[in-house]
Amino acid sequence: MRLPRRAALGLLPLLLLLPPAPEAAKKPTPCHRCRGLVDKFNQGMVDTAKKNFGGGNTAWEEKTLSKYESSEIRLLEILEGLCESSDFECNQMLEAQEEHLEAWWLQLKSEYPDLFEWFCVKTLKVCCSPGTYGPDCLACQGGSQRPCSGNGHCSGDGSRQGDGSCQCHVGYQGPLCTDCMDGYFSSLRNETHSICTVRTGLSDSYPPCCLSLECWRGVGHAWIRGRNTHTQPGYSSRVWIAAFSPACDESCKTCSGLTNRDCGECEVGWVLDEGACVDVDECAAETPPCSAAQFCKNANGSYTCEECDSSCVGCTGEGPGNCKECIPGYSREHGQCADVDECSLAEKACVRKNENCYNTPGSYVCVCPDGFEETEDACVPPTEAEGTGGERPPQLPTREDL
């Protein structure tokens, strides 16, 4: 089924009359266009999150027409708002890929909650996941989790372009950006991190940028209350300061200071909010990132998916107390899913005469006592079995006699 949309392609003759874009304007890549479309789609989901069918009787409408949150009506509203009428490339891409978006919304959203990963990376294959590059989405130098040791940019990161090489930040060099350039020294180096620090020679007067103590905050062991604490022996007229460049806040991809308000760009998993990079709570997304049998645990810049308790049908957290529903054979007792002891119920679970009932986790079994003969309707005691048969049937040899 194709949903109706405004015919944006009818604007093509008008657009052709517009003056050409400056040659300096860089044409967006297919990945950039796809990512932009997904960003607008996600924003459309946010904008329509609290809407309903608008008929005045939401309960009846949702009972009769299905829920608005997953309806075709909501999808149409989102699609209608994706592209401006003058954005020819956006409308062209939407026209070509509308069926994919419809299929994801109506059939695949639960299985593939990340629209960008499904649409741009796996379906259209115009982008790569973060930390990978090139036609085959290979891992960047240093690995996809922390490309270029966190000290540079991977060429082609997240796209089907580039060669995966590292373009190091100022102060760093080498294939993985772990070595320090001339004028820098290694202030920290271990298996996971390498931090290069600049060593600056300063005159005995404050430099123009440091006319106040506020300027020196975070510089290191340089000045305390205006008094030089690191003058080198034999150098009365010159001060040597190890001006440390500490690692950025974990929320920053690049930074000019120590806090999450000093980020030049937020790390993956963080978003700029009121001037600061804050953690994205992926677990609070309208479409949870985990499967129906898992629950989501948010972490700084990321999240993990944990398995629900075995007694749960869907859950919101760890243990049987956080089940959405209980599996068959379990019921909610004292706020958590507990095994139902079918053998202790008023209505007998095992209905044959003389039959024993044994409870098991989530179920039960019915067994005749030792020595009793099992029939369709009863467990017959040995004496009754002998009486009904007249002569005692010949005894079969035991396994040991064979």
Q: What is the DSSP string of 144-197?
A: SSSGGGGSEEETTTTBS-S---EEEPTTEESTTS-EEPTTEEEEEE-SS-EEEE
Where residue 226 falls among pLDDT bands split at 50, 70, 90?
A: very low
Helix, strand, coil distribution of the chain in percent, nearest 5: 25, 25, 50
Where residue 134 falls among pLDDT bands split at 50, 70, 90?
A: very high
The residue with greater pLDDT, 25 or 112, is 112
The residue with greater pLDDT, 79 or 12, is 79
Q: What does the pLDDT read at residue 106?
A: 87
Burial of 120 (0-12, 13-18, 19+ CB in 10 A): buried
Tell me which of 92-106, 145-159, 235-249, 278-292 is least confident.
235-249
Q: What does the pLDDT read at residue 82?
A: 85
- Asked if residue 385 has pLDDT above 80, the reply is no
Instruction: Determine the Cα–Cα distance for residues 10 and 267; give it in Å rounded to an integer.
Output: 41
Where residue 227 falls among pLDDT bands split at 50, 70, 90?
A: very low
- Asked if residue 5 has pLDDT above 70, the reply is no
Region 153-163 average pLDDT: 91
- Asked if residue 396 has pLDDT above 70, the reply is no
Fold observed for domain 344-380: Laminin (2.10.25)
Highest mean pLDDT among 40-49, 172-181, 219-228: 172-181
Q: What does the pLDDT read at residue 390?
A: 45
SS3 readout for 289-300 = CCCCCEEEEEEC
Tell me which of 2-16, 93-107, 228-242 is least confident.
228-242
Residue intervals in the chain for CATH 2.10.25: 344-380
The percent of residues in the chain predicted with pLDDT above 90, rounded, is: 25
Closest CA to 126 of 91, 97, 165: 97
Residue 261, φ and ψ in degrees, nearest 5: -95, -5
Q: What does the pLDDT read at residue 247?
A: 67
Instruction: Determine the Cα–Cα distance for residues 176 and 227; give it in Å rounded to an integer.
Output: 40
Q: What is the pLDDT of residues 197-216, one digit of tens each?
A: 875 544 333 333 333 333 33
Q: What is the pLDDT of residues 72-124, one digit of tens each?
A: 888 888 888 888 888 888 888 888 988 999 899 888 888 888 999 999 999 99
- Asked if residue 379 has pLDDT above 50, the reply is yes
Q: What does the pLDDT read at residue 26?
A: 59
Please check whether residue 300 is in contact with residue 252, taking contact to mean a CB–CB distance below 8 angstroms: no
Please check whether residue 222 is in contact with residue 241, taking contact to mean a CB–CB distance below 8 angstroms: yes
- Asked if residue 219 has pLDDT above 50, the reply is no
Tell me which of 54-68, 81-95, 336-350 is least confident.
54-68
- Asked if residue 25 has pLDDT above 90, the reply is no
Q: Which two tokens stand for residue 290?
A: 């985990």
Q: What does the pLDDT read at residue 13?
A: 42
The residue with greater pLDDT, 163 or 390, is 163
- Asked if residue 397 has pLDDT above 80, the reply is no
Average pLDDT over the chain reads 76
- Asked if residue 279 has pLDDT above 50, the reply is yes
Where residue 140 falls among pLDDT bands split at 50, 70, 90?
A: very high
Where residue 338 falls among pLDDT bands split at 50, 70, 90?
A: very high
Q: What does the pLDDT read at residue 383?
A: 77
Longest dimension (CA), the chain: 123
- Asked if residue 345 has pLDDT above 60, the reply is yes
- Asked if residue 64 has pLDDT above 80, the reply is no
